Chain A
Amino acid sequence: MSQPTRAVLAAACLAIAAVLLSISAAEAQAPKSGGTLRAALRAEVSTFDPHRGASGSDHMYLYPVFDTLVRFDEKLNPRPGLAESWETPDPKTLVLKLRRGVKFHDGTPFNAEAVRFNLARAQDKQVSSMSSELVSVQDVEVVNEYTVRLRLKAPDASLILAFTDRAGMMVSPTAVQKLGDQFGRTPVGAGEYRMARWQPGSEVRLERFADYYEPGRPYLDAIVFKIIPDADTRVSALRSGQVDFIMEVPAQDFAGLKGERSLRALEGPTLAYWRVFLNTAKAPLEKKPVREAMNLALDRQTLLKTIIFGLGEVVASPFPAGYWANNPALKPWPYDPARAKAKLAEAGLPNGFSMDMVLEPTPEHVRRAEAIQAQWGAVGIKVDLKPMDLAKGVQSFFRGKELAAANYRWTGRPDPDQSVRAMFHSTGFYNPGGLKVPRVEELMDQAKATYKLEDRRRLYQQVAEVVQQEAMDIGIYVASSLEAMSVTVQGYQQNFLGKPVFRGVWLQGK
């Protein structure tokens, strides 16, 4: 055999091997249809009516049932949904081009008229809890069967990502008219799954919508959400094989679950931002050097390592690395207790001061708050911890404005405007002292009116800079989203919101 032939033969062998490999890889990757996914969630859905509801724990139940006008990808970039594309011919006009051939679970066609009905319902204060997300919408015009034009009172770039949330979840107009108040318990959407059975306190069963517009989708026959409020019980349920998926894995259990061969544990960045909310109307928190001292006195790396076992990230702003609105040039506050004491002296408080801090009475919250208490105590800031259930804490701190500080998690919102406005605008609900820095408000207003993502990004980066300069924020860290599942669960992707979306999930045969 001559040399060239041997080379040809070798090449042919390689080629065949490559083809075989790619086939088996493709086989391993090709989603299989069928099966029931059992997922354990912490809280029960409050209502399946996306407009009426207001609880953050509803979304996991809502996403499979209601397709949204816009979808978000894992990093919260907008992607086409029921709206295939959108454009802004001028800053006060938003035109949505809709997908054709989409039906609601009851057979009602999805079209421009349905979008108009939905947006009007979402704006109707008699029905809706989220009309404030659509305040900038003046009116909604049906251009043709598959095009709607939104006229805005003012330019609003946050609308697109708001349409990935409740505002973009499309309900069947005929079902709403027929069911009235009962819609929230027997919902009809256009999503991959339809509601089949809701056993309050126990489980919610969703079943495959056979007429879903994407051929071959969805993959699962059914999703069963089991309601398990206790975190340890969720872990036991997964370990014993009673469920296939759990969210909000306690940080201390993560390594153990990761080590189990039949399970897969995922960690991913989120917008879940742990911080100390301040009521700057309470002396001496209105003083910038005091807030600087509070920032300098925190050893965030140690907090991250000891409280959540390093499963997160110390950040310089409310946003994690990799998020589009993040400012990678900004450095987190250094840990410098000596400078913290100097700052307190500069504020005329060489001996420190005392304040109270609200927290939730659960083990991880208590550990975190006690560690913060100790670190601040070391520079003379004496913290009196006030454990309260969430409703009492939110009422006393944000509404009653009775206390100085609260150690809570900002859960993150689809659009950065929603986060910065809520925490750093003087009228924001989560800024109970009304701390006002005019430059920050100008920048966020400008960002809201800017549609080009690149330009918006630059503006939010500036917001983060000013927030740090003025020591408006006392961040601790961003906590990772921790989810664990059986190895049979395929195609699951974590997202920055930390709210599991089961789109594209399928089960490998056991």
Chain B
Amino acid sequence: MGRFLRRRLLAVVPLLLLVTSMVFSLILLLPGDPAVALIGMEDASEEKLAAIRERMGLNRPLVVQYASWLGRVARGNLGASLRTGQPVTEAIRERAPITLGLALAATAFGLVVGVPLAVLAARRRGGLMDAAASGLAAFGVAVPNFWLGSMLVLVLALHLRWLPATGYVSPFDSAGDALRHLLLPTLTLGASAVAEVTRQLRSSLGETLAADFVKTARAKGLAEGRVVAKHALRPALIPVVTVAGLTVSRLVSNTVVVESIFALPGLGRLNLESVLNRDFPMLQGAVLVTVLAVIVVNLLSDLLYGLIDPRIRYG
């Protein structure tokens, strides 16, 4: 177990180097630099651009820029935004909790709704409940976030006025208000998580329920509820953990759309805006945190396998 963890953590270092150098070269391959992005169509001139580039430190060779960035990162300094001058660590501290909170809430929503739905569906394959759950799951996978989000806003916020349409409130300012603001984005983002969990668990549970040991359990005269909860569910959960892990990672990137619809100042919007602004210190920082989050979630789901199925060994 210790060796497994050590090896996995060591693999993170080259991975991060690879990702950051890729992000760096990708953003440099994009035509247009941060100075051009800043001025845009607003009274640009070559001398104005030159002055801004000079101040942003863009006149140095690319390799020098990357090396100096890397050097600073190694000392724990992620630099500052080229556009606003905000320290990158500060921006991440403010924005990462919003995105991670949202992704976790959406995954939790997926599990809370998806697991019972799948159990109901798997118990009567081909029944009415199965058809309904499968249909719902297909809808959840297929529906685009931006459409679902807009519809939820239209119905729940603008017509019924039950929930706020947009915006973010920090839970430290008002916990109740924060929850109300988080509900619609969670539903929007969680729809696909519900669908994924339902589909995966329904099929794996279906297989397990047909397995010999379940037949044995039934033959022993155990109640059906106990058969499912005690015997069938646990082995069927392994693919769900995989899916849940993947879902968290996918949601972290899907939040780009949801954060735009709901005007949430999270990592997704930071990523998008940093690309459009060619703000590479900020983009690097945001990508770094996103990658780390994905790695940690994958590691956690690997460890969870062992908890669910003691036969799995880490060597």
Contact = CB atoms under 8 A, between A and B. Distances in A.
Interface string A256-280: 0000000000000000000000000
Contacts of B94: 199-201
B74 interface: no
Contact of A391 (B51, B55, B276): B276
Interface in B36-85: 36-49, 51-52, 55, 83-85
B27 to A, nearest CB: 11
A394 B33 CA distance: 10
Most chain B beta carbons < 10 A, residue from A45, A181, A229, A388: A229
A232 B52 CA distance: 33
A129 B36 contact: no
Interface string B257-279: 00011110110011001001110
A430 B43 CA distance: 9
B85 A409 contact: no
Given A391-B37, A391-B277, A54 B46 contact: no
Contact of B31 (A45, A126, A400): A400
A236 B43 CA distance: 32
A5 B276 CA distance: 79
Interface stretch (B102-110, B158-166, B306-314): B158-166
Interface stretch (A237-245, A326-334, A367-375): A237-245
Contacts of B277: 391
A390 interface: yes
A185 interface: yes
A350 B261 CA distance: 49
Contacts of A399: 36, 46, 49
A46 B31 CA distance: 21
Interface stretch (A96-104, A410-418, A449-457): A410-418
Contact of B40 (A55, A233, A400): A55
A239 B277 CA distance: 30
A29 interface: no
Given A201-B269, A202-B265, A131 B51 contact: yes
B48 A233 contact: no
Given A54-B52, A240-B165, A394 B36 contact: yes
A164 interface: no
Given A46-B83, A55-B40, A392-B32, A239 B165 contact: yes
A336 interface: no
Given A200-B94, A226-B167, A236-B166, 13 more contacts: A45-B84, A47-B85, A56-B40, A132-B47, A185-B84, A201-B266, A201-B270, A236-B157, A392-B31, A392-B32, A393-B32, A429-B45, A430-B44
Closest 8 CB pairs of A and B: A391-B32, A201-B265, A56-B42, A395-B32, A391-B37, A240-B165, A202-B265, A236-B165
B153 interface: yes
Contacts of B44: 394, 398, 429-430
B285 to A, nearest CB: 13
Given A128-B51, A201-B94, A54 B158 contact: no
Contact of B95 (A125, A130, A201): A201
Contact of B269 (A45, A46, A229, A408): A229
Given A200-B86, A240-B161, A394 B43 contact: no
Interface in A182-225: 184-185, 199-202
Most chain A beta carbons < 10 A, residue from B36, B52, B95: B36
Given A202-B265, A395-B31, A395-B33, A236 B158 contact: yes
A422 interface: yes
Contacts of B291: none
Nearest to B161: A240
A227 interface: yes
B305 interface: no
Given A242-B165, A392-B31, A233 B263 contact: yes
Contacts of B24: none
B158 A240 contact: yes
A108 B247 CA distance: 56
A237 B41 contact: no
B46 to A, nearest CB: 7
A396 interface: yes
B158 A185 contact: no
B30 A391 contact: yes
Nearest to B270: A201
A333 B228 CA distance: 77
A230 interface: yes
Contact of B43 (A45, A228, A422): A422
Contacts of B270: 201
Interface string B140-153: 00000000001001
A390 B40 contact: yes
A252 B94 CA distance: 35
A87 interface: no
B297 interface: no
A76 to B, nearest CB: 15
28 contacts: A44-B273, A46-B38, A55-B38, A55-B42, A131-B51, A132-B47, A199-B94, A199-B265, A200-B84, A226-B263, A229-B260, A230-B260, A230-B261, A232-B150, A233-B262, A236-B166, A239-B158, A240-B161, A240-B166, A242-B167, A389-B276, A391-B36, A391-B278, A392-B30, A394-B36, A395-B33, A411-B42, A429-B45
